[in-house]
Homo-oligomer: A and B are copies of this chain.
Amino acid sequence: MRSDDIEEVRRLRLFRDVSPGHVETLMRGAFLQRFPAHVELVREGERADFLHIVVDGRVEMFSAHRDRETTVGVLGPGQSFILAAVLLDRLYLKSARSLLPSRILMIPAEAIRDGFAQDPMLARGLGEELAVAYRDVVKELKNQKLRTGLERLANWLLTRDAETGSSGRFELPFDKKVLAARLGMAPEALSRAFAALAAYRVVVQGPTVAIHDVEALRKLAQPSALIDDPAS
């Protein structure tokens, strides 16, 4: 790995409090790999050989069973995946594919496990990362089981708007069919849900969304900090 790559890696939240020396050691067997869009990075059922961290780009986590497939989450820069499988030395539960051209940092599982045992600051970072990931999945499970598709969409729009500066106007960060998968619905259902939101003054034209009456949308969505707030 090039040394300015290492610089970049050191800035990841996960390594924030880890001493430079330890980061260096970790990076010894690591790659910073470039992937084109739409490739499978990891397939469920395989052995967890590397911890993966999205440095750049976007990655979709999904899982298939029989003839069904479901998206479990979409990750952006700074987020890691399959940490739990790496720590436990188990099989991946999910597959991952790139949605955009992406740069992925891959650290050998062995090095992570050793680092966890030897470097308390790294252990802390990994523990927090895992705890956050855990809470995210729990939120997702609640989101799925306690809400209708329309409600999930409404809440997603609200969080997305908040993330992009609450201007009431933003672009979808990926195709609608990916969004549909992300929200756990068929593309057709998403389309109809968008149509239904017209009554709440949400206007969609291609990839751009305008929310003209946040209050109305919020009343429908009934957001909850314990499901939607990424920081809670």
Interface-lining segment among A5-13, A25-33, A123-131: A123-131
As for how many copies of this chain the complex holds, the number is: 2
Q: Is the interface of A mostly helix, strand, loop or mixed?
A: helix
Task: Count residues of chain A with CB under 8 A from any CB of chain B.
Answer: 51
**A139 contacts the other chain (Cβ, under 8 Å)?**
yes
Whole-angstrom distance between the alpha carbons of A88 and B138 in the complex?
Answer: 15
**A142 contacts the other chain (Cβ, under 8 Å)?**
yes
A131 engages B130 (CB within 8 Å): yes
Q: Which residues of A contact B (CB under 8 A)?
A: 44-45, 63-66, 68-70, 72, 83-85, 87-88, 90-91, 93-94, 116-118, 120, 123-124, 126-128, 130-135, 137-142, 144-147, 184, 222, 224-227, 232
16 extra interchain contacts, Cβ-Cβ under 8 A, other than A65-B146, A65-B147, A87-B127?
A: A63-B146, A63-B226, A65-B142, A65-B222, A65-B224, A70-B142, A83-B131, A88-B132, A91-B226, A93-B139, A118-B120, A123-B127, A127-B127, A133-B134, A137-B138, A140-B141
